[in-house]
Amino acid sequence: MTGLSADRVVAVTGAGRGLGRAHALAFAAEGARVVVNDLGVGLDGTPGSRATGSGGPADLVVAEIREAGGEATAHSGDIATTEGAASLIRTALDTYGRFDTLVNNAGFLRDRMLVNLDEDDWDAVVRVHLKGHFLPLKHAAAHWRAETKAGRTPVARVVNTSSGAGLLGSVGQGNYSAAKAGIIGLTLVAAAELARYGVAVNAVAPAARTRMTERAFADTMAAPGTGFDTMAPENVSPLVVWLGSAASAGVTGRVFEAEGGRITVMEGWHPGPTTDRGTRHTPAEAGETARELLSRAVPPGRVYGT
């Protein structure tokens, strides 16, 4: 099979539905062999029911890919555990003999205002999003480092999934926003540390209609007369496929927003107005200085939900 991802082996976590499913199908359409990871849990991470007679969500996506002439295999391990993350990489290597691209996408929501947010709901969301990015990345990186030391420097790619909530915050999603902001920090560190092993690491902050966002985007459908559904998950996947391919050489440590037909490079934290008096401020002087600097600074974007 030919295509942008021909001969590459790609693992996509949380690929049974929504964005992950769209990514897996898009990679397969471009020639990749895909490891489709999904636990089949509910929207809040509680155990879900398997589709009668047809396996879980991962199996259904694998069947779609195979029916279209592609190659795929299912993985049902919990990637927020050491064994589950390690077995994801092993599955790729044992099945296809190589591993080229990791797309970290798995996640769920437990939305509450901060004063009502239980510790268990905080831990569960941070675990699946942030730890669920770290552990597959760690085990993938260990494989690519070993390949480099053996004289086989890979052309490896990692695409992490953040969110507008991680960039700006989102009311009622303190746990999710914190985890998604952490993913951006992890992306920057991984890009710096893993470049020597031939690994490029980037992140996307997608906006699309999925189980997690269907209420927020319920009224956003195809633009009149165009047939183009701006909130379809499939709109985000082309950028993810490109970032996960050899064609994205030289692009690392970057964060992109993707929604409909729009792609934006996010520029992150940069020094703004500053002053240095050369000696210590008193608290009152520090306050006066801070207010003067803020008067010259670019206002922050609005938190979602305000």
Residues involved in catalysis = 163, 176, 180
Q: Which two tokens stand for residue 32?
A: 């990749």
In sequence order, the 6+-apart residues with CB closer than 8 A to the CB of 183 are: 104, 129, 130, 133, 160, 161, 162, 166, 203
Q: Which two tokens stand for residue 274?
A: 């500053």
Distance CA 136, CA 20 (A): 15
Q: Which two tokens stand for residue 115?
A: 């004063």
Distance CA 144, CA 142 (A): 6
**Dihedral pair phi/psi, residue 257, rounded to 5°:** -95, 145
In sequence order, the 6+-apart residues with CB closer than 8 A to the CB of 74 are: 35, 36, 37, 38, 55, 56, 58, 59, 61, 62
User: How many CA within 13 A on the CB side of residue 98?
Assistant: 13
Strand-pairing partners, residue 206, are: 258
Strand arrangement, sheet containing 262-266: 71-75, 33-37, 9-12, 101-103, 156-161, 199-207, 255-259, 262-266
